[in-house]
Amino acid sequence: MDELQRIWKRHQYVARASTAFIYGILVSIAMNFFWTPGKIYSSGITGLAQLLTSLGNRYLAHTFHPSVALLLFLLNLPLFVLAWKQIGHRFTFFTILAVVCSSIMIKSLSAVTLTKDPIICAIFGAAINGFGTGLALKNGISTGGLDILGLTLRKRTGKSIGTINLCFNFFIILAAGAVYGWPYAFYSALGIFINARVMDMVYTRQQKMQVMIVTNKPRSVIDCIQSRLPRGITIVHGAEGAYRHDQKTILFTVISRYEQSELKAAMEESDPYAFVSIAENVEIMGRFYEPEP
């Protein structure tokens, strides 16, 4: 058993390290192929690094030539400390790895101007970056910046990562308008919105779903679900089917979208003929277990 646990942990480490590398490639493509040519600002710390680079090149061109890659790493340093204290050491290590990979790839990958159309650059840059960020979060690592703040605040507020990011990015939108002109503020706002939505589509742990199960095998269903998922279940006895008037039991639980496949497998194993109804995007009051990153 100990050997299996070591193998599983090693597999998780390799998967997270690979995800950090993949994220670095994706964010560098978004930055060098779309955002920079289209004069689009990203969200969060990446957008702030872009802003400081633009201002440095405009007003300090003769004395200081900051790069987005360098500023991205430097701005994340205090957030690494926050993650180390508030979230976890292993999480912080892979977050640092993701930020280092992204900084190196942004600096190393040669820029290719596919188009300068700001709408296309905003949409495709945001979609690529949002997918990379969501993939990283889904695999238990962060991309730094507002992800760390978002994960910390989500424990207290229950808000989704994308929603929290949107709240921090009003300043970035104003900066885009001041530096490049107000049309680019709207293009950047479009990109930030798409980035948040794609991130939430990929990172599904924070999306809650209410499940109602009507079954005549309640014990089998409960045992099978709870062997797979750390979820409480409420039992309602004495239900009656209207067609055959046979006795049924109704089970209620709440899961995350991330756990939907496990629920489906549990139902197929325990009672494939049960009636299952799932309501999405429910609001939870009270304790809802979420695994640590």
* pLDDT digit string, tens, across residues 81-114: 888 887 778 888 888 999 999 999 999 888 788 8
The pLDDT value recorded for residue 105 is 93
Going across the sheet that includes 208-215, the strands are: 234-240, 247-256, 208-215, 275-280
Residue 280: which H helix or E strand, with range? strand 275-280
Relative orientation angle of helices 89-108 and 68-86, to the nearest 10 degrees: 170
* Helix axes 182-202 and 170-180, enclosed angle (nearest 10): 150
pLDDT of residue 291: 58
Cα separation of 234 and 292, whole Å? 25
Helices 182-202 and 161-168: angle between axes, nearest 10 degrees: 160
- Residue 262 has which token pair? 């496990």
Where in the chain are all domains bearing CATH 3.30.70.120? 208-280
Identify the residue whose tokens are 């500023």. Answer: 71
Among residues 147, 110, 154, 115, which one has the least CA distance to residue 130? 147
CA dihedral 207, 210, 214, 217 (to 10 degrees): 60
Q: For position 99, what pLDDT does the model report?
A: 92
pLDDT at 11 over 80: no
Q: In degrees rounded to 5, what are phi and psi of residue 232? A: -80, 155
- Architecture of the domain defined by 208-280: 2-Layer Sandwich (3.30)
Q: pLDDT (tens digit, 9 = 90+) per residue, 197-238?
A: 898 888 766 677 889 999 988 899 999 998 888 888 889 988
Q: Kindly report the pTM of this predicted structure.
A: 0.73
Which pLDDT score, from 0 to 100, does residue 97 have? 92
Report residue 272 as tokens.
């494939």
